[in-house]
Structure 1
Amino acid sequence: MEGQQTQPGSPDGVERPRLRAAAAALTSLAAVAATSLVAGPAVADTSAVPCALPRTAAHHSLGLDSWNTAYPRPDRNLDAVMIFLSFPDSSPLTTPAELAADHFPATSDFFRRASYGKFLLRAHPLRQWVRMPQKSTAYRIKRDWDADRRSAYLRDAIAAADPLVDFSRYDVVYLVADPDAPGVDSDATKVVNFDQPVRADGADLKRAVTVFERHPPDRNVLAHETGHVFDLPDLYHRPADGKGDWDTHVGDWDVMGSQFGLAPEPFGWHKWKLGWLNRWQVRCVAGPADRMLTLEPLAAAPARGASVGTRLAVVRTGANTALAIEARSATGNDRDICTEGVLIYRVGNEAASGGGPVQVIDTHPKTEACWDESVYPPLADAPLGVGETFTVKEDGVRVEVADRTPTGAWNVKITTAVPRR
């Protein structure tokens, strides 16, 4: 989950604190939320191809023509420090080592598989508790956190850890609270982006992941939050009154939708954005045309010695929209998948995090699957199976799944400019 920018600040997913000032002294610190961060600086993306959408000012825009350099790009190895925070009103019932093991190496393994070995997140957990100056109840921790209280928490945490941590050595900072402290709310876990970097140890701290998880934690929770650190958006839908279904946009598909999803492998579009798919693994389909192609399962590890296969097909449907087509099979991070097949989803570059930048298309709208395990059964059977055809009428695109190869890839025919009916 992330946050949103306010005055004085807010976090990523639902809210984002805004740390305004101070440098090493950490004076006038205010927290800021990630959901409304502006587009930020950019660097050209040399892997961009014609069907790549341009990046916009939307928070965590899914445009791909440039990279927002306010975020570290996980196309190289990155280092993360885990700082464990205790409070005067509670004696921890767990150890830092136990809490670190809740998340690592599982989170590193998730990203190693998702990136096809191109990215390693190296965790460096402290071996001791860092004592906060105030009781846990004094910060009034909760999901939609008061900005001043959140700012105080961040200010105190960074100041308390500074004598023990050389922040200049790390790309990612995890602030992990004692899960048994009375004032800790597990629903408050989120990424906090700083409106202005906080200076510590000669480095600019731009964000922190505030972790308030139970022990043991929710599945894949840190992979979801770390995705925000890499400029990925929340894909769930948060009901206005907090009630109702949160997973109507993408269901189980992609960890940025639900950390509990049965198919948490990041969408091919996200992998393209992060640099894990290159231009030869992405096929642009322009119309009118019939295009036959073979899609390798998105979550499958590359076969040793095999040539680079296509992982993602894209049909540009407008200046700011595209259809993405990929194969999902029971392997890697998708080993618990409900339904294998060819998944179709719509991508928009103008929708901000939490605003539906990705919409999975249900090719079986009259049925559902895995009702006892799926976070949203109507989309659990969204992919097309062998011998099935689906037309996205509003975009004039038809997708036919012919068969599977002996190696498990999917042979697909994509027809563009299909007459609308």
Structure 2
Amino acid sequence: MPRAQTPPGVDRRRLRRVAAVVTSLSALIATSIVTGPATASEAALSCALGRTDAHHSEGVDGWNGAYPRPDHALDAVMIFLSFPHAKPRMSPQRLSRDYFPATSRFFERASYGRFHLRAHIQNRWVRMPHPATWYGIQRDWDSGRRSDYLRDAVAAADPTVDFSRYDLIYLVADPGAPGVDADATKVVNLDQPMYADGVELRRFVTVFEHSPPDRNVLAHETGHVFDLPDLYHRPESGHGNWDTHVGDWDLMGSQFGLAPEPFAWHKWRLGWITDGQVDCVNPDRPRMHALRTLSAPEAPGSHRRPRLLVVRTGPDSALALEARGAEGNDRTVCTEGVLVYRVRSATASGEGPVQVLDGHPGTSACWGTSVYPPLADAPLAVGESMNDPEDGVRIQVEGRSGDGEWAVKVTRSTS
């Protein structure tokens, strides 16, 4: 496989390679590969955190059946809503190109071809009964007006849309209509379902984006449909940086991030990484562990190579390690290396269920392009290490083999 080109703005010092990797490194990597079952978490690995009652819990020991699981093909309908006294300036076909096929391709790459999002575009405007201003559309939306919006949208679309055919519903508002607030784009989950065409409708992706929309916005919202949490931090005042928890890493933190590939932990939850690609680490029994770059595509035999190392640190917490590189969805990554983050399965969406640990706390990178430069250089390069005093763990990146496998050692820290 050709090597990815160094993207603009990448710190080349952090992308350096060892000039000569000794043959023993490849042997150490090979012996660390763990085989496992064919589906995610069937074996209930010892490092797999259990699901909790937290909203969008990061537990991986089971699947919440209220959400569709993206481990096969799913069908999505995209419905375009217009409003009285506001003539749309663009056609549904033109607006749909803001989202597809890019969103489907993102998930194809992220899932290593395990998930196919099939978009069904409704090539006509569906007229809503009230102006957009009547619904009071905004980020923190009045639940009554929001319910009115959903009921009216389903009723208006039902004569031409068979809702029973689809797993996901995207409702796209005319971006030029007065009263359409781009900040209101979100997934709406209903406690009491609506009904149409003999099926329950429990979840809608409501889209109010400008054209062109925010980068990766539809993939972010679709992640919520699959039970993934928000990883950003919303300041109490509404002002300040929202990206202090995970920075550019994982689009559930920021849809603008330079490295939007979902965390390996999320891929494990979704079924895109199997137990055989997860290596449970015991720091009291140090050995060399291998990591295949997360965004690297599957290759013959690579489905048995670890993409995630996990150190269980408590009943509801773990340290996760993965290798990030400049290819696939991460082609614009700021720095390459081994990324370390803490996962808490009892922490709710938006409250910090994932926290990236900064491998270089005294520096920043990619000012002007990164959503949070202090974490843009968080990964560890070859020859670098970090201590996590909270859990008494030391992580060392020992090398990288010729085929791109990273070699990592995890031990108990002495300080």
Q: TM-score w.r.t. structure 1 length?
A: 0.88
C-alpha deviation, 1:135, in angstroms: 0.8
Deviates more, 1:160-169 or 1:283-292: 283-292
The one-letter code of the counterpart of 1:162 is D
Q: Which residue of 1 aligns with 2:339?
A: 343
The one-letter code of the counterpart of 2:94 is E
What secondary structure is seen at the aligned counterpart in 1 of 2:314? coil
Pick closer, same or farther for the CA change 1:259–1:357 going to 2, 3 Å.
same
Q: Distance in 2 between matches of 1:67 and 1:191?
A: 19
Q: Distance in 1 between matches of 2:258 and 2:249?
A: 7
Q: Which residue of 2 aligns with 1:141?
A: 137
The correspondence of residues 16-27 of structure 1 with structure 2, limited to 5 A, is: none
8 Å Cα contact 1:45/1:67 also seen in 2? no
Of the candidates 99, 102, 115, which is equivalent to residue 103 of structure 1? 99
8 Å Cα contact 1:89/1:136 also seen in 2? no
Q: Distance in 1 between matches of 2:119 and 2:247?
A: 29
Q: Distance in 1 between matches of 2:304 and 2:41?
A: 20
Of the candidates 359, 364, 368, which is equivalent to residue 363 of structure 1? 359
Q: Which residue of 2 aligns with 1:69?
A: 65
C-alpha deviation, 1:107, in angstroms: 0.4
8 Å Cα contact 1:397/1:418 also seen in 2? yes
Q: Distance in 2 between matches of 1:345 and 1:332?
A: 21
C-alpha deviation, 1:291, in angstroms: 2.2
Pick closer, same or farther for the CA change 1:221–1:47 going to 2, 3 Å.
farther
Q: Which residue of 2 aligns with 1:207?
A: 203
Deviates more, 1:172-181 or 1:193-202: 193-202
The one-letter code of the counterpart of 2:137 is I
Q: Distance in 1 between matches of 2:44 and 2:229?
A: 20
2:123 maps to 1:127: yes
8 Å Cα contact 1:77/1:120 also seen in 2? yes
The one-letter code of the counterpart of 1:418 is S
Q: Which residue of 1 aligns with 2:267?
A: 271
Post-superposition CA distance 1:311-341 (Å, at most 9, x none): 0000000011000000000011000000000
2:155 maps to 1:159: yes
Q: Distance in 2 between matches of 1:405 and 1:264?
A: 25
Q: Distance in 2 between matches of 1:393 and 1:63?
A: 24
Pick closer, same or farther for the CA change 1:305–1:65 going to 2, 3 Å.
closer
What secondary structure is seen at the aligned counterpart in 1 of 2:118? strand
Q: Distance in 1 between matches of 2:316 and 2:139?
A: 32
- For structure 2, the 5+ residue unaligned runs are 1-39
Q: Which residue of 2 aligns with 1:57?
A: 53
2:110 maps to 1:114: yes
Deviates more, 1:287-296 or 1:61-70: 287-296
8 Å Cα contact 2:172/2:207 also seen in 1? yes
Q: Distance in 2 between matches of 1:203 and 1:268?
A: 33
Number of equivalenced pairs? 376
The one-letter code of the counterpart of 1:364 is H
What secondary structure is seen at the aligned counterpart in 2 of 1:104? coil
Q: Distance in 2 between matches of 1:361 and 1:385?
A: 14
Q: Which residue of 2 aligns with 1:418?
A: 413
Q: Distance in 2 between matches of 1:306 and 1:152?
A: 49
Post-superposition CA distance 1:333-364 (Å, at most 9, x none): 00000000000000001110000000000010
**Identity in percent:** 66
C-alpha deviation, 1:418, in angstroms: 2.7
Post-superposition CA distance 1:284-331 (Å, at most 9, x none): 012412121110000110124546211000000001100000000001
C-alpha deviation, 1:413, in angstroms: 1.1
**CA RMSD for the aligned pairs?**
1.1
Q: Distance in 1 between matches of 2:298 and 2:216?
A: 23
C-alpha deviation, 1:47, in angstroms: 4.5
Q: Distance in 1 between matches of 2:271 and 2:258?
A: 24
The correspondence of residues 15-414 of structure 1 with structure 2, limited to 5 A, is: 46-304=42-300, 306=302, 308-414=304-410
Q: Distance in 1 between matches of 2:309 and 2:111?
A: 18
What secondary structure is seen at the aligned counterpart in 2 of 1:174? strand
Q: Distance in 2 between matches of 1:327 and 1:225?
A: 25
Q: Distance in 1 between matches of 2:335 and 2:303?
A: 27
Q: Distance in 2 between matches of 1:212 and 1:394?
A: 42
The one-letter code of the counterpart of 1:152 is D
Q: Distance in 2 between matches of 1:183 and 1:255?
A: 27
What secondary structure is seen at the aligned counterpart in 1 of 2:340? strand
Higher RCO (C-alpha under 8 Å, 6+ residues apart): 2
Q: Distance in 2 between matches of 1:130 and 1:136?
A: 13
Pick closer, same or farther for the CA change 1:226–1:376 going to 2, 3 Å.
same
Deviates more, 1:164-173 or 1:397-406: 397-406
- For structure 1, the 5+ residue unaligned runs are 1-43
Q: Distance in 1 between matches of 2:301 and 2:360?
A: 37
